[in-house]
Amino acid sequence: MASPNPRLIYLHGLASSSRSAKVRFLAGRARAGGLTLQWPDLNTGGFRRLTFTRMLDQTRALIRAQPGPVLLLGSSLGGLAATWCAQGDCRVKGLLLLAPAFEFLQNWLPRLPVGQRASWERGEPLWIHHHGENRPLPLDPLFLQDMARFSGTHTLVRPLPTRIVHGEQDDVIDLAASRRFAASRPWVRLVEVDADHRLAGVSGVSGVSGVIWRQLEALLAEITATGEVTPCRR
């Protein structure tokens, strides 16, 4: 017997917001398809005091707030958060990850100016451009300290339907990180596209946006075709 369509929850990335182009595109397509999409603002509580743990706690609370299956969508750091949240919650039935931030610190820290990275590591805030606010905002060193606890992916091994869309010209999170993640996990399908980290072109129905939506449709078909429970550890 087929299970009901899962709720869709979209998680934005670092220094982004719930008003991004990806959200607008996905919300429009979901609405047209009669699907329920939620897109929490992960900046709630203040960007300066943001931590990855806070992102996880907020997402887990949202998953628990309503009964029924969930499909998590995540962009960049939101993709990493989605993967962590899926490990111990059997309500999560699938993952669609857009340029997920696997090996985040290894990718991101070397791209920071040496002086800024050094002062951040000494305890001063890091000023970064926040795309949602369109202005520089400070981020406390607590983010860096907390993020170090989630640097590895060896424990992210729950075998549930997972699709990754990652750009070949990504200069923020190297495509190789997604390739390494998918290589040892046969339940993960990696789709490489001609795009950068933003996966530009999400406002239309062709190009990269079409690839993203087709992967979501494929996940929904796979999830709703069976009522089996995917193994996970609570």
pLDDT per residue of the chain (234 residues) written in tens, 0 to 9: 455 789 999 999 999 998 888 888 899 999 999 999 999 999 999 999 999 999 999 999 999 998 899 999 999 999 999 999 999 899 999 999 999 999 999 999 999 999 999 999 999 999 999 998 999 999 999 999 999 999 889 999 999 999 999 999 999 999 999 999 999 999 999 999 999 999 975 444 457 888 999 999 999 998 887 654 455 555
Rounded distance between C-alpha atoms, residue 216 and residue 162, angstroms: 10
* Nearest C-alpha neighbor of 82 from the set 12, 23, 6, 134: 12
First to last CA, the chain: 25
Domains assigned to the chain: 7-224 (3.40.50.1820)
pTM for this entry: 0.93
* The two structure tokens encoding residue 67: 């009964």
